[in-house]
């Protein structure tokens, strides 16, 4: 990718971020803005990837506070132990635990699923939250570009390997739910089917935006599969907004400076950023409803290309090839 193209990709990403920040400021000033109250979730089990800090930690904490058995999936055992301890203390819920899962490794994802299934417990909510943001060019253990491999392919594989348990756990009127965290950055993303790994050129901004776009396409295809097979499972996308987390450590230094000086008033807190994920996971308003793009606990339109059925199909098929799993959609559609 030329320097000019990379600069354009960066400008598009930062322009979207600025627009979201303005919208967040305006919303905070609206009268009557209050945190929603959700029903208790006793006897329900959730997995939250990236639940050791940031939005994932806040999501895990809120689900635990509602009485859920929460399993945090992450690749930092030290952080995880501290996160589990704090959530247990704050929520008075002892059913919070950690299982190691490195989304940059298909082997690790498979081992995580095996360990989870050995527990012989149901799975009612899967929150695909973990991710990397605008990191320097690198590859996963399996040779995939890091944004595409961690943010998208890792969650694609994880979800597919847990789909049987989700189906067994859901019931009519009490569906299991898959919540996938994307970003407004997907609005400026472009899916290059001829170079999903950004191997011919690289822009951290473009790679990040592509991974978030892929997550939306994946969610819509997954929802179509679930509906076609009559499964009591739904799949929705959660957009947290611009949130003050450590993910910004790799962005342009000027953005880091703005975050340091004004993040407290311009950015959402992790607790605020987690609200839409929690809403998608537990609200009765979404019972039996999937295929939604949710922002600020409301359904909105995603990028037009995300509704392209052929693009959804092609990405799903390519993803199955990359992860080595069967494409079950061929038998359904």
DSSP string, 119-140: T-----EEEE-----SPPS-B-
Q: What is the DSSP letter of 305?
A: G
**301: phi > 0 → left, psi -120 to 50 → alpha, else beta; which?**
beta
CA distances 309 to 146, 218, 220, 323, Å, are: 26, 11, 9, 21
208 in catalytic set: yes
Distance CA 44, CA 71 (A): 11
Q: Which of 57, 152, 187, 208 is catalytic?
A: 208
Distance in angstroms (rounded) separating the CA atoms of residues 164 and 161: 7
Report CA 170 to chain centroid distance, whole Å. 20
Q: Is residue 283 classed as helix, strand or coil in its secondary structure?
A: coil
Residues with catalytic function: 208
């Amino acid at each position: 990718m030329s320097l000019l193209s990379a600069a354009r990709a960066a400008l598009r990403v930062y322009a979207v971020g600025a627009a979201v920040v303005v919208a967040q400021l305006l919303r905070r000033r609206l009268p009557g803005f209050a945190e929603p109250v959700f029903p208790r979730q006793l006897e329900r089990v959730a997995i939250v990837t990236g639940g050791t800090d940031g939005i994932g930690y806040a999501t895990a904490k809120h689900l635990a506070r509602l009485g859920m058995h929460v399993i945090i999936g992450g690749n930092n055992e030290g952080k995880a132990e501290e996160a589990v301890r704090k959530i247990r203390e704050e929520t008075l819920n002892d059913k919070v635990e950690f299982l190691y899962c490195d989304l940059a490794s298909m082997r690790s994802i498979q081992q995580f699923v095996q360990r989870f299934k050995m527990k012989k417990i149901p799975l009612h909510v899967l929150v695909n939250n973990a991710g990397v943001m605008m990191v320097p060019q690198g590859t996963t253990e399996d040779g995939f570009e890091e944004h595409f491999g961690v943010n998208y392919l890792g969650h694609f594989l994880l979800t597919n390997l847990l789909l049987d348990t989700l189906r067994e756990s859901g019931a009519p009127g009490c569906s299991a739910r898959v919540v996938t965290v994307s970003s407004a950055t997907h609005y400026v993303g472009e899916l290059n089917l001829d170079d999903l790994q950004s191997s011919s050129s690289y822009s951290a901004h473009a790679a990040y935006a592509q991974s978030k776009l892929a997550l939306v396409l994946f969610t819509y295809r997954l929802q179509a599969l679930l509906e076609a097979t009559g499964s009591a499972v739904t799949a929705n996308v959660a957009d947290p907004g611009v949130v003050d987390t450590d993910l910004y450590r790799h962005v342009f230094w000027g953005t880091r400076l703005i975050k340091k000086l004004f993040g407290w008033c311009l950015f959402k807190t992790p607790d605020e950023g987690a609200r839409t994920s929690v809403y998608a996971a537990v609200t009765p308003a979404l019972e039996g409803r999937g295929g939604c793009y949710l922002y600020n606990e409301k359904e909105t339109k995603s990028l037009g290309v995300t509704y392209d059925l052929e693009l959804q199909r092609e990405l799903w098929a390519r993803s199955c090839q990359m992860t080595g799993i069967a494409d079950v959609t061929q038998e359904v559609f």
